Amino acid sequence: MSTGTVTLHRVLRAPANRIYKAFIDPDAMAKWLPPHGFTGKVHEMDARVGGRYKMSFTNFSTGSSHAFGGEYQEMVPGEKIVYTDAFDDPNLPGEMRTTVVLKPVMCGTDVSIEQRGIPAMIPTEMCYLGWQESLTLLAQLVEAEIPDGP
């Protein structure tokens, strides 16, 4: 069965370490990763090579949810994260592999993401749409400059 691949590229006005942290902090992931119309919950996260994570997205309108999780395969702080994803749903078989590369540039960080092995039942354009929404939320989280308060 054929699988899909999506590649995304953004430049964010934030340091690479802040963006990296958004990928390994459970509260941050629950805030930015769920696309519009979904809430997210991180059930477990052991952000280290060989560590695992599990999370779910819930459709805010219908209440239906789907869970997925995987393993961290490569982690270079502030530079690169490679992890696997698999859905709990047997109708969405296979394992996806996501690679996130962060490169400092003069105005922030160049972010490149590739997700391979997307189950054939999921149209790649839907993955692009979801990732675009998620990356908008990621930018809002990491680009904010909030001064320390009293």
In this prediction the pTM is 0.92
98-127, pLDDT tens digit by residue? 999 999 999 999 999 999 999 988 899 999
Q: Residues 100, 113: contact at Cβ < 8 Å?
A: yes
Q: Which domains does the chain have, with CATH numbers?
A: 4-143 (3.30.530.20)
CA-to-CA distance for 17 and 78, rounded, in angstroms? 4
50-99, pLDDT tens digit by residue? 999 999 999 999 999 999 999 999 999 999 999 999 999 988 888 999 99
pLDDT computed for residue 48 by the predictor? 97
What type of residue is 42? V
Residues present in the chain in total: 150
Give the SS3 label for residue 51. Answer: coil
